[in-house]
Amino acid sequence: MTTLLSDPGVTAPPEVIAPRRRRRLSAGLRVLVGICAVLVAIGAAVPLVAVLATAFAPDALPRYAEFFTSAVDLGILRNTLVLGALVGLFGTALGFLFAFVQTRLDVPGKKILHVIALMPIVSPPFAVATATVVLYGRRGVISNGLFGLEYDIYGLDGLVFVLSLSLFPVAYLGLLGMMRGLDPALEEAAMNMGASRWQIMRRVILPLLAPGLVAPFLLLFVEAIADLANPLVLGGDYTVLASRAYLAVTGEYDTTSAAVYCVILLVPSLAMYFGQRRWLSKKVRTTITGRPSGSIHLITGWSRWPVYGLALLAAAVIVSLYGTVIVGSVTKVFGVDNTLTFEYLEEVLFGVGVEAVLDTLTFAVIATPVAAILGLVIAWLVVRHLRRTAWLLDLGGTLGVAVPGTVLGIGFVLAYRPDRYIGDYLVFPSLVGGSAIAGGAMAIVVAYVVRSVPAGQRTAVGALTQLHPQIEQASTDLGASPMQTFRWVTLPLIRPALLTGLSYSFARSMTSMSTIVLLVTPETKIITSQVLSAASTGRYGVAFAYCTVLTVLVLAAFALIHLIVGGGVALQRTAKSERPKR
């Protein structure tokens, strides 16, 4: 077809349109958007593109036909999806249970329950898996020793058990923030109209929390199908896509197959993400209005005890698992030879392990504030300032979790292993592998950041959508620039989200495994990969010792973060059985 570039006979006179009036973002905001975009591109977009490029290269295409005709491969796909759904369900339920007890029941020991509920995020899932085998496996100290059962924990049941317990804190923290943010007047209104506790729960609280329940389900689903450590240790015959892709890279050196498995794993992950996004956009609730009203009424009737009991049971299981980790680190062979010994801890703290501990700590300390602040800033830009490009930045920031860690790790290997030249000039040095700059430390820190951003971002998005825009508008209206409003009004009000973001980023970095295991080099030792090698050579005592040290470090960091950032702000009164003082 021919196009006439200038044809005065055809060209209509240009329509006179008033210039579209859109105030541009202030300079500060534009710089922020730029920084976020670059970090997201390096950490997530480029590796993802590298995976896709390999997976859709001509020589990879026959692999898809093989995959979808092979009963074994299809079984792996089904295994993956079933695992994700079950973990999402159980994990969210468990998170809700703990959040409900925390915010709505008048029961003792809530502080301790809170700490117990956070324990799983401070240690690699790998430790829980090992402890589970020791306690509840075929020769388990509890299942066999206490109840005389010979239960085969390997497989789907064991994976769901371990992953639900390991991952539920995400759901718990998110729901906790949300339930604290609910306007108590809504509940009071329902109570006032004669609704029973149960009816309020079903008709008021749950629908209000619905978006909040979908988000952790999604998160747990994606995390579960992305998990690598547990299927390797506890999967038995139950193979999932992540472990299959990992084996393809490390065992078969077949990056093409690995990329194909990655793409197939990406589909459900990303589908979940978009499904949830669509759903959330339809049901946004705003509850903190700046006009405080009502008081929270804690449940004081008998009905609190069964719920409390359930939470206590779950807490007991968690405690038993972590108890095993700690006791296992100071006994010769826990359950067989219970002699006290400090040789494992010594090895970790003063022997060959100290290097890994220091490296991991350094990388995590660098990555944590970057990840938490990046997550918060992305959330704020997305919710409040960007319009048409918001979804893009939001998507970019979420890639670190929407894309399974194994896929991201393989992406890093594909994208950053070779040095990149234009002509003879080195434009982008190798970040991964033996010849990488700083022994691969750069890549590991970037991976930590990218993997940790989404948690902070999600919490912050949740907190921001609950913060009435009028509060920020009031600040703007009084002469505050967007940055000043963020610093003096938004940030203090969503401080719990920052706290969550920082804590979670640090814990996630310290315990990250699926991405990192592909990035470590002889020069950079990481605790989690040390645990993997110790456990796979049967040195459980050393593995437990690493886990204990790691847990202590993370807990110490939590205390430090809490000290620096401070707790949340009391936005409403809490009414208990006694009369309020004023």
Partner 1 sequence: MTVAAPAEAAALDPAGRREPSTGRLQLEALTKRFTGRAGVVTAVESVTLDVMPGEFITLLGPSGCGKTTTLRMVAGFEDATSGRILLDGKAIDNMPPQRRPMAMVFQSYALFPHMTVAENISYGLRLQRRTRADIAESMRMAVTSMNLVGLENRSPHELSGGQQQRVALARALVVQPKVLLFDEPLSNLDAKLRDAMRAEIRRIQKMFGITSIYVTHDQDEAMSMSDRIVVMNKGKVEQAATPGEIYARPASVFVADFIGRANFVETVPEGVADGRAMVTVLGRRLSVPAHPTVASGSMDAYLMVRPETVTLSPVTDGGTGMGVVLRSTFHGPSIDYEVETAGGTITVTESGKDSREALVEGTNVDVTIAPDRAYLLNRE
Q: Binding residues for partner 1, per CB under 8 A?
A: 18, 21-23, 26, 288-292, 468, 470-471, 473-482, 484-485, 488-489, 492-493, 569-573, 582
C-beta of 180: minimal distance to partner 1 in Å? 13
Helix 206-226 with 405-416: angle, nearest 10 deg:
50
**C-alpha of 50 from chain center:** 23
Q: Which CB atom, from 435 or from 481, has the smaller least distance to partner 1?
A: 481
**C-alpha of 498 from chain center:** 14
Q: Which CB atom, from 195 or from 491, has the smaller least distance to partner 1?
A: 491
Beta bridge partners of 296: 574
C-beta of 294: minimal distance to partner 1 in Å? 10
CA proximity to 216, closest of 97, 380, 95, 374: 95
Q: Which CB atom, from 290 or from 351, has the smaller least distance to partner 1?
A: 290
C-beta of 572: minimal distance to partner 1 in Å? 6
C-beta of 566: minimal distance to partner 1 in Å? 11
C-beta of 26: minimal distance to partner 1 in Å? 7
C-beta of 215: minimal distance to partner 1 in Å? 24
C-beta of 188: minimal distance to partner 1 in Å? 15
C-beta of 579: minimal distance to partner 1 in Å? 16
C-beta of 464: minimal distance to partner 1 in Å? 15
Q: Which CB atom, from 252 or from 477, has the smaller least distance to partner 1?
A: 477
- Environment class of 237 (CB within 10 Å of its CB; exposed 0-12, middle 13-18, buried 19+): exposed
C-beta of 400: minimal distance to partner 1 in Å? 30
- 511 within 8 A of 121, measured Cβ to Cβ: yes
CA proximity to 466, closest of 568, 574, 573, 393: 568
> What DSSP string runs through 333-347?
ETTTEEEE--HHHHH
Q: Which CB atom, from 151 or from 279, has the smaller least distance to partner 1?
A: 279
CA proximity to 401, closest of 361, 448, 435: 448
Q: Round to whole Å and give the CA distance between 474 and 470.
A: 6
3-class secondary structure per residue, 215-249: HHHHHHHHHHHHCCHHHHHHCCCCCCHHHHHHHHH
Q: Which CB atom, from 22 or from 111, has the smaller least distance to partner 1?
A: 22
Q: Which CB atom, from 56 or from 488, has the smaller least distance to partner 1?
A: 488
Instruction: Please give the biggest Cα pair distance in the chain.
Output: 97
C-beta of 187: minimal distance to partner 1 in Å? 16
Q: Which CB atom, from 389 or from 470, has the smaller least distance to partner 1?
A: 470
CA proximity to 474, closest of 459, 458, 493: 493
Q: Which CB atom, from 148 or from 479, has the smaller least distance to partner 1?
A: 479
CA-to-CA dists, residue 180 to 36, 183, 200, 295, 497, angstroms: 30, 8, 16, 11, 12
CA-to-CA dists, residue 219 to 225, 228, 269, 463, angstroms: 10, 16, 9, 17
Beta bridge partners of 524: 521
Q: Round to whole Å and give the CA distance between 303 and 98.
A: 15
User: Which H or E run contains 428?
Assistant: strand 425-428
Residue 387 one-letter amino acid: R
Residue 22 one-letter amino acid: R
Q: Which residue has the tokens 């902070």?
A: 456
Q: How many CB atoms lie within 10 A of CB 24?
A: 7
Q: Which CB atom, from 74 or from 483, has the smaller least distance to partner 1?
A: 483
Q: Which CB atom, from 21 or from 278, has the smaller least distance to partner 1?
A: 21
